[in-house]
Structure 1
Amino acid sequence: MTWNGFRGAAVRLEDIDLPRLGHGIGVGEDEIHALLDVEAAGVGFDRTGRPKMLFEPHVFHRNLFSAARETAVAQGLAYPKWKPGAYPADSYPRLAQALEIDETAALKAASWGLGQILGENHAAAGFASPQAMVRAFMDDEDAHLESMVRFLVTNGLDDDLREHRWEGLARGYNGPGYATHGYHTRLAAAYAKWSHIPDTPFIPPAGEGSIVIPRTRIGRGSRGSLVVIWQEILLAAGLSFDGGADGVFGGATETATKSWQRAHGLVADGVVGPKTWGAAG
């Protein structure tokens, strides 16, 4: 198969893609941003337009057998255990050598794109083969993000992301050595950063059905796409407040929320949790 230097259309994400795909698993833009920042510094393509990629010789080793494995070991492309500090600045020359030995095993042994999805995990990311996944990643960062969301759901990690259980998320996404690299603390720090940055307003398309009930609670001080969704619900119920659906959960939104909760027989605490979301759905 010809790979054209792993250069495709290289279309970047649009701002709306993060809240749109996050909505499908009940999270806001901030959670998605945090994971992207930690995995690939928020960018899915390198300076030459190739998907960001890290070749893992220990993964190549476990996907090879007999003579092919011996050849890869002899060329320094495969070894049985992960080694720290063994990564060159550009992994593509290694990948090119590995492709000559076994294309499928080579693509499986690399982590790709915004979410750094290991080619070995192509099925969990929604693709029939690593080749299909890499082709999609060459063309559009939207495919990177969609695959990351599928991977989270397939592996039951979407709960951890919704609940901000950073250790559980890091363990499932990055493996048992997550703490060595501080993935959990980096995720928490990235989320804290993005939680103070205004999000892209997003309302689910008409006819999509009831909202996805998030497990993330929102209340005074919250910001983002989930706040916009909640404010739209309040406005549709005839509860007006200063600022409208601006994505900022301030005092006026809190007061309107308490009125809405009282009208629906709920505890009027001004906090939108599962019971309040459920009554709205």
Structure 2
Amino acid sequence: MSDWNSFRGAARRLDDIDLPRIGHRIGVGEDELHAFMDVEAAGSGFDRQGRPKMLFEPHVFYRNLAPARRTKAVKAGLAYARWGEKPYPGDSYPRLVEAMAIDETAALKAASWGLGQILGENFAMVGYESPQDMVWAFMEDEEHHLEAIVDFLIAAKLDDHLRNYRWEDLARGYNGPGYAKHNYHGRMAAAYAKWTKIPDTHWVPAVDALPPIAVKMVSPSMRGAPVRALQMRLQRLGHYAGAVDGVFGPVTDAALRSFQRSAGIVVDGYAGPQTFAAIEAALSPEPIIVKEEAAMPALASIGHNGGPALEPQMSGPPSPVQQSAKAVGAAKWAAIAGALWTAVVAADVLPPAFTTPEFIAAVTAAIGAVAGAVGSYRAPKNAEPG
């Protein structure tokens, strides 16, 4: 499958600092995360060929297929109604590739991926727009695997079990009723005991650090890290007072609309490039206005004959009325540009070269710079109208 590069990406392993940094989100350290990962994926998110560890589940494929495709998959031996009807092969990837030829999205949903063996069906639960997006991210870096584990634990309300070493409750919630047969809880407890004897990586969180919003749009009913990052920003701006839980529910919707209303942008309850730019502008520190520069008189223009130009000259800074008019005009064009950019991104009509996260971030930053310049306007204290 050339489009998927045989499921080989950068395959970057976790950095030492990733465990305490990501675990900090739910109040656990690297020992707890190590214990969980040791049991769920033998401590590694990639196989020997550099592909994300993956297990294809034919019964999940079965339930994600439309009737006509389901019949085709059943005949090919790729789908069946109940778990356990046939043994798993040593390598699930050939079977996955065959299933993708029938229905790519359903096939990716039917596989468990990476360090935490996150089922593709749960892509939205861990903050992705599609199972394809989740798998591409997992191909690149185990950091994304670990972020997804933490997002899933939060969404499934299992993070408290990990914090309090309730291994049995955690295993039951994560692995289902068959957890005891495989001794998941006992193996997690043993792994945790092992890791507590190994020195931890020193890490201290930055006081003002905010996690990035790594998607093009945060919309109602989404879950995961992008929603949490949005909630943290709205909280810092005084619009959000709920739990930072990564769930885009009514409280988050109300907070987002409140911010959009205060920023003078489209109030639609969707956070896209225009809203991101306005948020970053609101979070940016105000520029310092030097009094000497503010009070400096403008130089008179010189006409073509060496004398003063005929048009009237300003002998001081623009009046607050003039400055405000310029700010309002710039704000209007910034809002229009942001709205158009949001619509273009949401419509997904851009050529591939213009849909990379880097390009979208650059355009969003440019819009944000304009909005920031406008939002930071303050009339000099010594300027009087007229």
Question: Which TM-score applies when normalising by structure 1?
Answer: 0.72
Distance 1:165 1:85 in 2: 33
Distance 1:65 1:182 in 2: 36
Post-superposition shift, 1:84? 7.4
Residue matched to 1:34: 35
Post-superposition shift, 1:13? 0.7
- The alignment status of 1:61 with 2:68, answered yes or no, reads no
Residue matched to 1:151: 152
Distance 2:55 2:67 in 1: 24
Distance 1:71 1:120 in 2: 21
Change (3 A) 1:75 1:198: same
Distance 1:60 1:164 in 2: 34
The within-5 A match list for 1:250-265 is none
Distance 1:110 1:121 in 2: 10
Residue matched to 1:132: 133
Residues 126-168 of structure 1 show CA distances to partners (whole Å, capped at 9, x for unaligned) of 1111000001001111111111111111111100100111111
Answer with 1 or 2: which has the greater Rg: 2
Distance 1:63 1:166 in 2: 31
SS in 2 for 1:168: helix
Post-superposition shift, 1:70? 1.2
Post-superposition shift, 1:58? 1.1
Post-superposition shift, 1:207? 3.2
Residues 58-86 of structure 1 show CA distances to partners (whole Å, capped at 9, x for unaligned) of 11111112121111111111111111771
SS in 2 for 1:124: helix
Residue matched to 1:271: none
State the number of aligned residues: 209
SS in 2 for 1:87: coil
Distance 2:179 2:76 in 1: 29
Residue matched to 1:179: 180
Runs of 5+ in structure 1 lacking a partner? 210-281
SS in 1 for 2:126: coil
Residue matched to 1:114: 115
Change (3 A) 1:97 1:120: same
Post-superposition shift, 1:188? 1.2
SS in 1 for 2:55: strand
- The alignment status of 1:169 with 2:170, answered yes or no, reads yes
Distance 1:155 1:120 in 2: 14
Post-superposition shift, 1:187? 1.2
Post-superposition shift, 1:199? 1.1
The within-5 A match list for 1:213-228 is none
SS in 1 for 2:6: helix
Post-superposition shift, 1:11? 1.1
Distance 1:201 1:170 in 2: 28
The within-5 A match list for 1:206-217 is 206-208=207-209
Q: Output the amino acid matched with 2:136.
A: R
Residue matched to 2:49: 48
Residues 204-261 of structure 1 show CA distances to partners (whole Å, capped at 9, x for unaligned) of 124359xxxxxxxxxxxxxxxxxxxxxxxxxxxxxxxxxxxxxxxxxxxxxxxxxxxx
Distance 1:198 1:84 in 2: 45
Structure 1 vs Structure 2 CA RMSD: 1.6
Distance 1:85 1:189 in 2: 31
SS in 1 for 2:180: helix
Distance 2:192 2:86 in 1: 27
Q: Output the amino acid matched with 1:83.
A: G
Q: Output the amino acid matched with 1:117.
A: I
Post-superposition shift, 1:176? 2.1
Seq. identity, %: 68
Post-superposition shift, 1:35? 0.9
- The alignment status of 1:192 with 2:193, answered yes or no, reads yes
Q: Output the amino acid matched with 2:174.
A: Y
- Structure 1 stretches of 4+ with a deviation exceeding 6 A read none
Distance 1:85 1:23 in 2: 41
Residue matched to 2:289: none
Residue matched to 1:99: 100
Distance 2:122 2:80 in 1: 20
